[in-house]
Structure 1
Amino acid sequence: MNTDHLRAFVLAVDEGTFEAAADLLRISGSAFSQRIKALEKEIGQVLLTRTIPVTPTESGQKLLGIARQTVLLEDEARRSLGFRGSSRNYSPTTTLSVAVNADSLASWFLRVLQEAATWDDVELHLHAEDQEHTHELLRNGTVTAAVTEHPTPVSGCRAEPLGTIRYWPVASRELLDRHRDEGGAVRWSSVPQIDYSIRDSTQRTALAALGVTTPAITHLVPSVQAYNAAVGYGLGWGMIPESMLPAGVKEGAHRDLEIIAEIQPDDVELHWQHWSTTTPAMDRLNDVVRRAAARMT
């Protein structure tokens, strides 16, 4: 397969439109479309939907990971040999797409970004997703590496443990007091909870242990900082990483917030999964992630 065609395919998925991808390659929209059509003719299947944003078809999903690896390896080979040639399609930087759960991205993974700020030959494209689902982005070729709770390597990948994040169930005393019965017990079926997203099952799993399957109210707050603040305001109860707990909460000395005694803390073991086929840029990222994760807590 022609690597120029594969590069066009990857850029179409990443940029969302043929026009934006063509601009990056500095070619006309017509020339870009011809590359996609040539690739689809060679494969014998439609690879991209002609929608906005462009998305890969089922066949395109199967090709996407291979296409990313091919483009990455070509760029690294040119770079290591000091060869630019006449191709306008060669990128002087390596693009590494990485899936990271939001809590890691707002805490220990910031050290990765701090060190990557000194690199002038790597582009990081970060995808925020729940740790239960980041491996899906690795499997379908959207990313080259992921922070995930799944220890079993995705096909064609390697996995290694990073460490554990402990999540504590936290609520405002005022919130809990409003939902106590006459005997003083909390009516958990009526206490609002806060989820990070509709795919966030952390709170639902914890409540299930108390026999509650459907909370009365579930707020969605897709921001780590806003989520923690919402718990502090008493919007609902939620699971907060230990490193982000307000001072005094764990010790029982906070003026309003408290650890919920009826719900156990949740220890989430994180793993780093990445393509087995590595490059110098990928090796560099792997090393930085390991060192940053060593200071996770």
Structure 2
Amino acid sequence: MNTDNLRAFVMAVDEGTFESAAALLRVSGSAFSQRIKALEKEVGQVLVTRTVPVRTTAAGEDLLRTARQMVLLEDEARRSLGFRGSSKNYTPTITLSVAVNADSLYSWFIRVLQEAATWDDVELHLYPEDQEHTHELLRSGTVVAAVAEHPTPVSGCRSRLLGTMRYWPVASAELLDRHRADDGSPNWQEIPVVDYSIRDSLQRTALQRVGVDSPRVTHLIPSVEAYNAAVGYGLGWGMIPEGMMPAGVMEGTHPDLRIIREIGAEESALHWQHWTTTTPALDRLSAAVERAAARMR
């Protein structure tokens, strides 16, 4: 397959529109469209929808991972040979798309970004997703690597343990006092919960230990900083990573926030999954991730 056509396909999916992808490749819109059509003619199937944003068809989803691998390998080869291309062609900066759970991205993964700041030949595209689901992006070919909860490697990938993040259930003492049963115990059904997203299962799993499947009120706060602040303000209770805990909470000296001992901690083992076919850039990223994860809390 022609790698120029494969590159156009990958960039159309990543950028969401033909126009944006064509601009990045420094070709006209019509030339870009012809590349997509040529690839679809070659494989005999429609690969993307002509919508905004562009979506892969079932056939396109099957091809995306292979296409991304071939583009990455070509870019690495060009760089190793010192080939920059003409002004009309794409200059092969290496793009590494990575899925990272939000809590990691907000904490220990920051050290990866600090290292990457010295790489002038790599651009990172980060996809925030719950750690239980990042492997789905790896399987689909959307990313080349992922911080994932699942230890079993996706087909065609390697997996290694990075470490464990420990989460503690935290709530405002005032919130707990407002929702107590007649015997003084917390009324878990009535105490609001804060979830990061509808796919966030940490709180639901923890609640099952006290016999509650679905609380009456669940707030969705898709921002780590805002999530932690919402718990701190008493909007609801939530699971906060030990490394992000406000001062005094673990020691029991915080003026308002309390660890909910009845529920207890949850631990999430994190794994680094990446393509088996690696490149120097991907190897460099993996090494940076392992160094950063060694300081995980």
Q: Taking structure 1 as the reference length, what is the TM-score of the superposition? A: 0.98
Matched, 1:61 2:61: yes
* Matching residue of 1:202: 202
After TM superposition, give the deviation of residue 90 of structure 1 in Å. 3.5
After TM superposition, give the deviation of residue 156 of structure 1 in Å. 0.7
User: Do 1:97 and 1:124's aligned partners in 2 also have CA atoms closer than 8 Å?
Assistant: yes
User: Do 2:22 and 2:28's aligned partners in 1 also have CA atoms closer than 8 Å?
Assistant: yes
* Matching residue of 1:167: 167
After TM superposition, give the deviation of residue 88 of structure 1 in Å. 3.7
What are the residue-to-residue correspondences of 1:103-122 with 2, within 5 Å? Answer: 103-122=103-122
Offset from partner CA, 1:74-108 (integer Å, 9 cap, x none): 01101101123448443331000000000000000
User: Do 1:194 and 1:221's aligned partners in 2 also have CA atoms closer than 8 Å?
Assistant: yes
CA distance in 1, matches of 2:174, 2:229: 15
Matched, 1:11 2:11: yes
After TM superposition, give the deviation of residue 218 of structure 1 in Å. 0.3
The 3-state SS of whatever aligns with 1:188 is: coil
After TM superposition, give the deviation of residue 27 of structure 1 in Å. 1.1
* Matching residue of 1:289: 289
CA distance in 1, matches of 2:291, 2:196: 27
CA distance in 1, matches of 2:91, 2:166: 40
The 3-state SS of whatever aligns with 1:209 is: helix
How many pairs are equivalent?
A: 297
Matched, 1:192 2:192: yes
What are the residue-to-residue correspondences of 1:110-259 with 2, within 5 Å? Answer: 110-259=110-259
Runs ≥4 residues deviating over 2 A: 83-92
* Matching residue of 1:264: 264
Counterpart residue type for residue 186 of structure 2: V
Offset from partner CA, 1:125-173 (integer Å, 9 cap, x none): 0000000000000000000000000100001110000000000000000
User: Do 2:100 and 2:146's aligned partners in 1 also have CA atoms closer than 8 Å?
Assistant: yes
After TM superposition, give the deviation of residue 261 of structure 1 in Å. 1.3
Q: Taking structure 2 as the reference length, what is the TM-score of the superposition? A: 0.98
* Matching residue of 1:276: 276
* Matching residue of 1:52: 52
Counterpart residue type for residue 40 of structure 2: E
User: Do 1:100 and 1:129's aligned partners in 2 also have CA atoms closer than 8 Å?
Assistant: yes
CA distance in 2, matches of 1:226, 1:240: 12
After TM superposition, give the deviation of residue 213 of structure 1 in Å. 1.1
CA distance in 2, matches of 1:85, 1:182: 75
Offset from partner CA, 1:33-77 (integer Å, 9 cap, x none): 111011111111110011100011111111001000000000110
User: Do 1:100 and 1:147's aligned partners in 2 also have CA atoms closer than 8 Å?
Assistant: yes
Counterpart residue type for residue 75 of structure 1: D
User: Do 1:149 and 1:268's aligned partners in 2 also have CA atoms closer than 8 Å?
Assistant: yes
Unaligned regions of 5+ residues in structure 2, if any?
none
Offset from partner CA, 1:245-265 (integer Å, 9 cap, x none): 111111111111011011020
**Aligned-residue RMSD, C-alpha:** 1.0
User: Do 1:134 and 1:148's aligned partners in 2 also have CA atoms closer than 8 Å?
Assistant: yes
User: Do 2:26 and 2:90's aligned partners in 1 also have CA atoms closer than 8 Å?
Assistant: no
CA distance in 2, matches of 1:144, 1:53: 21
CA distance in 1, matches of 2:46, 2:88: 26
CA distance in 1, matches of 2:54, 2:85: 30
* Matching residue of 2:24: 24
User: Do 1:4 and 1:89's aligned partners in 2 also have CA atoms closer than 8 Å?
Assistant: no
The 3-state SS of whatever aligns with 1:146 is: strand
User: Do 1:95 and 1:122's aligned partners in 2 also have CA atoms closer than 8 Å?
Assistant: yes
Change in Cα spacing, 1:5 to 1:182, as seen in structure 2 (3 Å) is same
CA distance in 1, matches of 2:266, 2:152: 20
* Matching residue of 2:33: 33
